[in-house]
Amino acid sequence: MRIKTAIIGVIALAGLAACGDTVGEQALYGGAAGAGTAAVLDGNIAAGAAIGAAGNLLYCERNPHRC
C-alpha cells in the first residue's frame, strides 16, 4: 500500500510542478505542490514540501526551455 501511495505522490508532484522566474519562486511552487500532495495523500507535509521544492528546482535547472 505504501508503494502505491508513493507512486501516486510522485505522479501528482510531477503533474503539479511549475517553474518560476527565480529560484525562490521555483522552490515556493514546488514546495506548495509537494505539501498539497502530501496533505491529500495523508502524508508528511513537511517532507512533501521539501521533496516538491527540490524536485522543481532540479526540473527547472535541467529543463529551462520548458519553463
Q: Could you tell me the pTM of the whole model?
A: 0.71
Note the pLDDT of residue 18: 64
Distance CA 63, CA 67 (A): 7
51 pLDDT above the threshold of 80: yes
pLDDT average, residue stretch 37-64: 90
Note the pLDDT of residue 53: 92
**Interval 1-25: pLDDT, tens:** 567 677 666 666 665 556 778 899 9
Distance CA 43, CA 28 (A): 19
pLDDT average, residue stretch 22-35: 90
pLDDT average, residue stretch 28-55: 90
Q: Which three cell numbers stand for residue 11?
A: 505522479
